[in-house]
Amino acid sequence: GQQLNQSPQSMFIQEGEDVSMNCTSSSIFNTWLWYKQDPGEGPVLLIALYKAGELTSNGRLTAQFGITRKDSFLNISASIPSDVGIYFCAGNTNAGKSTFGDGTTLTVKP
């Protein structure tokens, strides 16, 4: 099946630093999605990307849909302690199914 390679697996950063994570795939996706999951909760959608090359921001978050439709990145600027959590990328096909990356665990030190 389709697989997404998400990196890095984990990040330990200082408050105020910028963060970057990305996902790559051997398959083409029609939509890329970025989610954040807190412990014991379901994922919450952060940003959705619908077109190749699209660059979208949501507050301190910026994400881009790669031109080849096989990759995407998420940047978080000026990190704060509440950014702590697990970030997942997900690619959607025409059938509407999502394939998730393995997640990036972010730790922010005050």
Partner 1 sequence: GAVVSQHPSWVICKSGTSVKIECRSLDFQATTMFWYRQFPKQSLMLMATSNEGSKATYEQGVEKDKFLINHASLTLSTLTVTSAHPEDSSFYICSATYDRGAWGYTFGSGTRLTVV
Which residues make up the interface to partner 1 (CB under 8 A)? 1, 31, 33, 35, 40-45, 48, 50, 88, 92, 94-103
For residue 74, report the phi and psi dihedrals to the nearest 5 degrees.
Answer: -130, 130
Task: Mark 26-45 as b/e (b = at least 16 C-beta within 10 Å).
Answer: eeebbbbbbbbeeeeeebee
Shortest distance, CB of residue 41 to partner 1, whole angstroms? 5
Q: How far is the CB of 38 from partner 1 (least distance, A)?
A: 10
Which residue lies nearer to partner 1 by CB, 12 or 14?
Answer: 12
Task: Select 78 or 97, whichever has its Cβ closest to partner 1.
Answer: 97
**How far are the Cα atoms of 12, 26, 61, 62, 100 from residue 45, in angstroms, in the given order?**
22, 23, 12, 13, 13
Q: How far is the CB of 42 from partner 1 (least distance, A)?
A: 4
**Whose Cβ is closer to partner 1: residue 20's or residue 99's?**
99
Angstrom distance (rounded) from CA 9 to CA 26: 19
Q: Considering beta carbons, is residue 1 or 110 the nearer one to partner 1?
A: 1
